[in-house]
Amino acid sequence: MTPLLRVDGLVRHFPVRGGLLERRKLVRAVQDVSFELAPGEVLGLVGESGSGKSTIGNLVLRLDEPTAGAIVFDGRDITRARQSALGEFRRQAQPIFQDPFSSLDPRMTVEQIVAEPLAIHGLSRGRSARRERVMELLRMVGLNEGQLARYPHQFSGGQRQRIGIARALALSPRMIVADEAVSALDVSIQAQIVNLLRDLQRSLGLAMLFIAHDLAVVEYVSDRVAVLYLGRLMELAPAREIVRAPRHPYTRALLSAVLEPDPDRARTREVLTGELPSPINPPSGCVFRTRCARAIADCAGDVPLPRPIAEDHVVACIRAEEF
C-alpha cells in the first residue's frame, strides 16, 4: 500500500545562544528519523519528555521547519513548500492539541470555533448549511446543539477536548496528529477521549499520528508504535509485538513502568537509572547507552541505525538479537 505520509531522515536542530565567547550550540531535537504512515493507520509515537515526539508532530504538520530530511504527503513533497502553497495540505492534515483550553479562543462560541476552519478554507455555503455541519460534528463527538452558544470556559476539560476534536474534523481531513491529546485530562476522562478518538478514526478511515508518553495508551490505540529517545528512533513495530516482544532495552524499560494487571504476564523489570542526557551534548554512539543496563563498550562506537530484525520490526541496537 502506498503510504499517505512518508518521513525520511528527518532532522531538527534549534540554535542556543551562549556567552559572547562561547561557540554556537545546537539542541538536537530530532536526529535522522524515518517512518511511513498508511491511509487509515494509527502510528503511535512514544517516549519520555525530550524524546522529540512533539517536535516531529509539528514538523509533519509544517508548523515548524525541518533542518534536513523529507516529508512527503500523498506523494507530494511538502518539506520546503511555502506557507502559501500549503492550503490543500492544511485541509487534509489537522492537529489535536494537548491543552484543550489554550487551544480554543475564549472569546468565541462553540459554533464559531468549530465553524472557523470552514470559513477559512471557503467551504461555508450559507449560515444554515454551516450550522448544520457544526451540529453534525458536535453529535459525532458526544455534544449537542444546545451547547452551540456556550464559551470554552463553560465546559469541562473533557468537553473542551471534544470541541477541539470536532474542529479538527470539520474539514474531513485524511490525517490527524493528536499530540498528547489526553495527558492534560483527569484519568477518569482520558479513557472516554481515547475511545472516542479510536472510534472516530475507524469509522472515518483516518490516518493518525498518536503522540503520548504512556505506552499502555499508545498500544491500545495504535496499529504500530515508534519508540523515540533523545530525538532518535529506537524501535518501530506492530503494537502487539512491541508489547509482547520488545527488542530494545529502552522499550523494555518503558514497559516496566506500565502496571500489568495479569500476574501471570508479569515482566522482568528494567528500571531506568540516571538522568536524560542533554540534547545539546548527546552521548557518542547509542544515545541510550548511559542509562542502559545492557550497554557494552561497543555501544559507544558508531550510532546504531534502525535495522530490520523481523518483518515490519526495526530496532536501533547492536544487541537486539540477544533479547
Task: Note whether 51 and 168 are same-domain residues.
Answer: yes
Q: How far apart are CA 317 and CA 295, in angstroms?
A: 10
Residue pLDDT, tens place only, 71-86: 999 999 999 888 878 8
> Could you give the CA distance from residue 38 to residue 280 in angstroms, rounded to a whole number?
33
Do 205 and 279 lie in a common domain? no
Domain contains 230: no
Q: Which residues pair with 12 in a beta bridge?
A: 30
What is the tally of structural domains in the chain? 2
109-152 per-position pLDDT tens digit: 999 999 999 988 877 777 888 899 999 999 999 999 889 999 99
The per-residue pLDDT for 261 is: 52
For the chain, give the mean pLDDT: 90
Domain extent for 12 = 5-222
Structural domain includes residue 237: no
d(Cα 38, Cα 246) in Å, to the nearest integer?
Answer: 23
239: in domain:
no
Q: Is residue 227 part of a domain?
A: no
- Predicted confidence band at 18 (pLDDT cuts at 50, 70, 90)? low
> Does residue 233 belong to any structural domain of this protein?
no
Distance CA 248, CA 244 (A): 12
Q: Which residue has the higher pLDDT, 99 or 13?
A: 13
Shared domain check, 216 and 72: yes
pTM for the full predicted model:
0.92
Residue 208 shares a structural domain with residue 266 = no
Confidence label for 264 from pLDDT (cuts 50, 70 and 90):
low
Q: Is residue 104 part of a domain?
A: yes
Per the DSSP assignment, residues forming a β-bridge with 36 are: 6
